Amino acid sequence: METHDTTSALYVVATPLGNLDDITLRAVALLRAADLIACEDTRHSRHLLDRHGIRAPLLPLHEHNENAAAEKLVAALGAGKRVALVSDAGTPGISDPGARAIAAVRAAGHRVVPLPGPNAAIAALSAAGLPDARFLFAGFLPTKAAARRADIARLAAVPGALVFYEAPHRVAETVADLVAALEPQRTLVVARELTKLFEEIAAMPLADAPAWFAADANRARGEFVLIVSGPPPRLGIDAEAERVLALLLAELPVKQAAKLAAAIAGASKNELYQRALELKAV
């Protein structure tokens, strides 16, 4: 083991998303040497730990007891122990408990050491093949429809890919809301059951997504990462041209509105025509 992993600290350890072999050599060595392992669900983690002959005592740390569990972590660190933190799957603190305990540990003057590894968002992005150089990790959208739609509207113009986590019973609704609010030519990548038996990664124009899900009920099963590519470039259409176009579009057919807006605002007729089609589709 690297020498800097042998001192007392809180080690934040990423664990597999599904395939139990997806654990780093460093994570196994650290967990074997840990004095205490904080985990979301002790029964769930025991399965992974048993497989690697890891016998350290387990301390439950989940969203309902995180503050109390943090006090126990601080006490263990105060006694010079090596403490690990894992979640049920992937990286602790990423749409998972951990952040409050980590803040408390650091505030108490102890070191926090990340052991990087699996994360569903990064695994999905790595296989998405999208051209975007940037992404925004949006995690889980709100479960209430109005709040979810408002969130999507706020994210629509972010200049990069959008990455969402979603549960199977909500995936169809969320996809419908994405389709309603975002440009139809954006690409949707559905990454389902990553690293597991029924892993599936599919890319499609956003507009085709409802039909893709409707074609096979199995496509709405399992755990999901949804990625939407960044907004299409809006070259040459400034705010004034867009304003004129919107006004004319309220009164005229798309072609005529685009032609007149181009003449009035001095912008490209083709670009305004494309934009008019987008506006009409919303």
Q: Using CB under 6 A, list all residues that contact ligand SAM.
A: 17-18, 87, 89-91, 94-96, 119-121, 165-167, 191, 193-196, 223-225
The torsion defined by the Cα of 202, 278, 139 and 131, in degrees rounded to 10, comes to 50
**Of residues 73 and 164, the one with the C-beta less far from ligand SAM:** 164
- Provide the minimum distance between the beta carbon of 15 and ligand SAM in the complex, in angstroms, as a whole number: 9
Find residue 113's DSSP bridge partners.
11
Residue found under tokens 């969320």 = 174
Q: In whole angstroms, give the CA distance from residue 155 to residue 213.
A: 23
- Provide the minimum distance between the beta carbon of 92 and ligand SAM in the complex, in angstroms, as a whole number: 7
The residue with its CB nearest to ligand SAM is: 90
- Provide the minimum distance between the beta carbon of 25 and ligand SAM in the complex, in angstroms, as a whole number: 19
- Provide the minimum distance between the beta carbon of 249 and ligand SAM in the complex, in angstroms, as a whole number: 38
**Of residues 90 and 230, the one with the C-beta less far from ligand SAM:** 90
**Of residues 79 and 167, the one with the C-beta less far from ligand SAM:** 167
**Of residues 62 and 81, the one with the C-beta less far from ligand SAM:** 62
The closest of 140, 167, 139, 163 to 230, measured between CA atoms, is: 163
Q: CA-CA distances (angstroms) from residue 211 to 97, 205, 220, 282? A: 35, 11, 12, 18
Give me the count of residues in the chain.
Answer: 282
Find residue 86's DSSP bridge partners.
39
- Provide the minimum distance between the beta carbon of 169 and ligand SAM in the complex, in angstroms, as a whole number: 11
**Of residues 69 and 257, the one with the C-beta less far from ligand SAM:** 69
Angle (CA) 219-223-229 rounded to 5° is 75
